[in-house]
Structure formats: structure tokens, C-alpha cells
Structure 1
Amino acid sequence: MVISYRVPAEPSTVRVKIWRMLKSIGALYIQQSVCILPLTMETQKTAVQLQSLVNDNHGEVQSLQVEQFESSTEAQLIALFSEQRAVEYQEFLNGCSTFKQEIQTETELGKFTFHEVEENEAELVRLKRWYRKIWKRDFFQSEHARISQTELEECEIALSNFTQRVYQAEGHTEGELV
């Protein structure tokens, strides 16, 4: 699907909202205000929402469903989509590394408290949500998805081990009412 839009310069919040909407579903910008997306139920739904938003703000939008690209163009587009996801997955992997380093530091400092467990649980939830968002827009199943999934599982294991150490330090068994 190719989407092209034009909206008035002011208010700029409309352009930002459109940009965020399209980026959140993995749009690949090929020119200013022209992007491309694989044709899925979600991209079609977003195209309808975008149409309403643009029309409500006195703009223009065209949504084109493309049956097939020239094979070299298709290969280029897939490579560009994959590059976008690679950047996102690398940022995610950095987040996982920071998470595991934080747990290691807390372990080395002996900060075995329930407060630390709660903080780390919240961070793990954030990492899981982040991974799902990237994975959802990974239309062409990047090799980075598998690596990122493995890293996320390692974060879960690190937190589980840390949580067990906290329960031991507090003289409880995990799951026991405190």
C-alpha cells in the first residue's frame, strides 16, 4: 500500500500525529509525506483513520493498493524495511543489556529488596511491550527478531534468579505470603 498525504503547515500537531500513526505501524517513508506499507488488515484500518484525520484537517490523502512491484524494487523495499527494524531491534537489545547490567549491579551490591524486584519487574514489562511493538511491524521477519527474543528470555531468567535471591535474603519462599 502506498499512502501519500498533504496537510496544511499549521497546526504542526496534525503532521506529527500522522507521522507517529504511520511510524507506529512500520511505515517506510520513500519521500516526504509518501510512505509504503505491506497490505494488512491493520495497515488498511490505519489508512482509513488517516483518511479521516487528513480530511478533518483540510488536507488531501491518497491510498493506493499495489498488486506487485518490479522485483528489484520489491527487494530494495524489503531491505529498507529490514534496516528500519534492525535499528529498532538494536536499540531494544541495548535496553536488554542495560536491564541485565542493572540486575548484575544490584546483585553485586547485595541490594536484595522487594523494592528492587518491583522496579525490575516494571522494566521487564516495558521491555516486553517494546519487543511486541517492534515484532508487530517486522513484516519480513528480520533475523534480529530471534536474537531479540532470546535476549528477552535471558532478561526474564535474570529477573527470576534475582527474585529468588531476594526471597532467600528475606527468609521467604517465592510465592509465600509475606
Structure 2
Amino acid sequence: MEIQGWIIFSYKIPSEPSSIRVRVWRNLKTLGVNYIQQSVCIGPNTEEMQKKLKKLNLLISENGGETSLLEVEKMSTVSEEKIISEFNKARTLEYKEFIEESEKFLKEIEKETKKLNFCFREIEENEVELRRLKHWLIKIKKRDFFQCELQKQAIEIFETCNKAFEEFIETVYLQEGVSGEEG
């Protein structure tokens, strides 16, 4: 990603109600920002980042808090490299967990196949899990501003999960005497 500068967002929130603090923290984590100090975070200066931070600013202000938003056009190369490295470390952890969960999905499909457990219930259960993995991967990729090394591996294993699931469905259809083309 070509960096068009950075946004530094700091905030102060009253300690009560704690639900607001949690909501702000979750929103910032979902955005993919990195904390550089307590209640001070940084993210790439994108239109979406600005839009979401303005909404958080409103939420915080409405609940008796204060925010500051600072746009930074340029940093020293060392600082910028360190920040990008921190972003990539965070995404690496997310991708590793995603890959582990995807491997569990593949093992589940393999287990059910070995047990010859070809039934509609298994399709439904695995479909729910595959959908969960898909949405999770979309969220990680959305905050993977610098294309972390594990992104490609995560995409590939998800494609493998998708293929394994399609093959499982075909086997269930064959076992049930249903053609997969009938809809």
C-alpha cells in the first residue's frame, strides 16, 4: 500500500460506563490501528480511516470524552518502517490463527469423510464454519494495509477449505442419490 500519510488518534474517555471504553477499543481494533501508547493509536491516512475515526470522535464526545486527530504527512524512514513492522506483526498473528482454524476445518472434513458421515447435517455445520472463516479472512485482509507475508498462505488455505467442502457436498449428494446440478 502506498502510504498517503498517517493519522494519529488519541482519546480520553470517562472510566464509567466501561461499555463505551470497550466499544471504542473494539472499533479501533476492527479498523486495524496500532496503539503507540495507551489511548493513542496510529493508522494509514485513508478516506475510510478518517470516516470511521470521525464517527468514533462523535461517540466519545457524546459520552463526555475528548479526542485529538493529527494527520502526519511524513515520518522518518526508521519510524515508518518500525510502524509498518508493527502493523505486519499484528496481521501475522491474525493470519496464523486463521490458518490454524482453517486447518481444523480441513481435519473435520477429513474426519467426517473417513467416518463416511455423509449427511445433510454435516453440510450445514461445515457451511456455517466455512462462512465464519470467509468473513474472518475478509476482515483481516481489510486491515492488512501492507500485505503481510502470510496473506497469500491464508487465501490459499481458504481456497483449499472451499474446495474440500465442495467435494464433501458432492459426496453427500452422491450418497443421498441427489445430483449436485439439480439445485
Coarse TM-score class (shorter-chain normalised): over 0.9
Per-residue CA deviations over 1:27-63 (Å, capped at 9, x if unaligned) read 1001100000001111101111111011101111000
Per-residue CA deviations over 1:51-103 (Å, capped at 9, x if unaligned) read 10111011110000100111100000000000000000011001100100000
Displacement of 1:175 in angstroms is 3.0
2:15 is aligned to 9
1:72 is aligned to 78
| TM superposition score normalised by structure 2 | 0.95
Q: Equivalent residues in 2 for 1:86-101 (5 A)?
A: 86-101=92-107
1:155 is aligned to 161
Q: Distance in 2 between matches of 1:102 and 1:171?
A: 23
> Aligned partner of 1:29: which letter?
Y
Unpaired runs of at least 5, structure 2? 1-6
Q: Distance in 1 between matches of 2:163 and 2:143?
A: 26
Report how many aligned residue pairs link the two structures: 177
1:39 is aligned to 45
Q: Distance in 2 between matches of 1:8 and 1:54?
A: 9
2:56 is aligned to 50
| TM superposition score normalised by structure 1 | 0.97
> Aligned partner of 1:118: which letter?
E
Query: Secondary structure of 1:3's match?
Result: strand
Cα RMSD of the aligned pairs, angstroms, is 0.8
Q: Which runs of 4+ in 1 moved over 3 A?
A: none
Percent identity of the aligned residues?
Answer: 44
1:103 is aligned to 109
